[in-house]
Chain A
Amino acid sequence: MISFGTMTFFVLLAVLTLPAIVLGLTGRRLGPYGAVASTIGILALLAHSSRQLALFVAFVAWQFVLMKTHLWFIQRHGRQVVWERRLAALAALFPLALVKATGVFDANLFGFLGVSYLTFRAVQVILEISDGLIKEMPSWEYLYFLTFFPSVASGPIDRSRRFSADLATRLTPREYAALAGEGLRLLVLGAAYKFVAAAALAHWAAGTGGGLPGTIAYMYLYGLQLFFDFAGYSWMAVGTAYLFGIRTPVNFRLPFIAESIKDFWNRWHITLSFWFRDYLYSRLLMAMMRRKVFTNRHTAARVALVANMTAMGIWHGTALHYILYGLFHGLLLVANDIYERSSSFYAAHKGATWYRIVAIVVTFHLVMFGFLIFSGRLISV
């Protein structure tokens, strides 16, 4: 069974969501049932492999004990113990690091469904406990948030304080009906994206020939397929979350009308790029500014941008083409930043319609080239 991929999954989804719809339309709390349904959904997704199931349970247990210990420590000893905060963050990243490191030798040794995405949520909770933003974390809420099954496989990456606020809100039947209606619309939209558009594009991409013309055709078809496949999955995940009363944030906002690379990352895989912005880029930059590592703040910001995007590339996978993809976008963002800050041409024309159209076309092609790097086709070993 594949998350939003196979017929059995959709049958299970229908069975699990039906009670949620009844509870929602009668104005009852959705949280407790949602947690039970989510657990059943995950067990079904992992049932085919006892090894994956064991790894998943071990991962969740590790993060749970870590979260509780960290919360206890911060409450008892305060936020000033730097080594403890660092140790907690490293411990939250450790399982993913293990998966990535062993993946170099054997792709499936420690990997399991959703490990990359679960890590984001676990790290977010640890860092916000360190910051004093999370002062209590009920066990069931934490487990439900961490393993929320519509987004367990590939996101969107929600935030725990937002998720908890949804759980604390009891929707009126009318509010729930509106949310569920939107959820169903997104499920249908996502299915059309993934099973019609992405499937056709994948078929055509597979049929492209060799040489330069074949590679160029492949670039566009693969890039568009990637969008429709992932955006389609994301819409279905968000739509399902709505049915459970959870307003999981959206992942895409018309990425191909982006007018710059910077604009693109506010529209493409939004929950991932915002996660990296908030928990890596901003923190790295703050640390560099406080220590005055660079005299020029723009230099510091550009170093942070490249580091941030390269880390994002490595998160996708340790293969060379993923790292190059991250580096490519990091350097593009730096070029974007220098251009927007220092070009008089940009300052003079940025509002003009013709300029914006040219900018959209240029951005689109840079993005498509990035996907070609991402596909690994340029570096076939």
Chain B
Amino acid sequence: MSMSDEAVAALVADIAGTDEVLAEPDLNLFDAGLFDSLAMVELLVDLGTRLGIDISPTEVDRDDIDTVNKIIAFARERQES
């Protein structure tokens, strides 16, 4: 199973509840108040389901997935491994 970069970005926008994040892919989602603990869990569950992998909550630091671009990079990395 795999996801395109656009699909990952769309998933983030869906969880954040706004398409604004697509225009600003380097915006810090936590600082902007768009992401919280629930959003983080939603991201890991949805990404995991779509990619067919298990991602545990402490597998990735918040700092490593706090922007759309970082989340895309993370998804790419996990699809390759």
Contact = CB atoms under 8 A, between A and B. Distances in A.
B58 A301 contact: no
A289 B49 CA distance: 11
Contacts of B4: none
Interface in A146-175: 159
Interface of A: 127-128, 131, 133, 159, 262, 277-279, 281-283, 285-286, 289-290, 297-298, 301
Contacts, number: 40
B40 interface: yes
Interface string B56-74: 1111000000000000000
Interface of B: 36-38, 40-42, 44-45, 49, 56-59
A104 B71 CA distance: 47
A285 B41 contact: yes
Contacts of B49: 290
Nearest to A300: B38
A283 B57 CA distance: 7
Given A262-B36, A282-B40, A290-B49, 20 more contacts: A127-B58, A128-B56, A133-B58, A277-B37, A278-B58, A279-B57, A281-B37, A282-B41, A283-B57, A285-B38, A286-B41, A286-B44, A286-B45, A286-B57, A289-B45, A297-B42, A298-B38, A301-B37, A301-B38, A301-B41
B38 A128 contact: no
13 contacts: A128-B56, A131-B59, A133-B58, A278-B58, A281-B37, A282-B57, A286-B45, A289-B41, A289-B42, A290-B45, A290-B49, A298-B38, A301-B37
A297 B58 CA distance: 21
A278 B57 contact: yes
Contacts of B57: 278-279, 282-283, 286
A159 B57 CA distance: 14
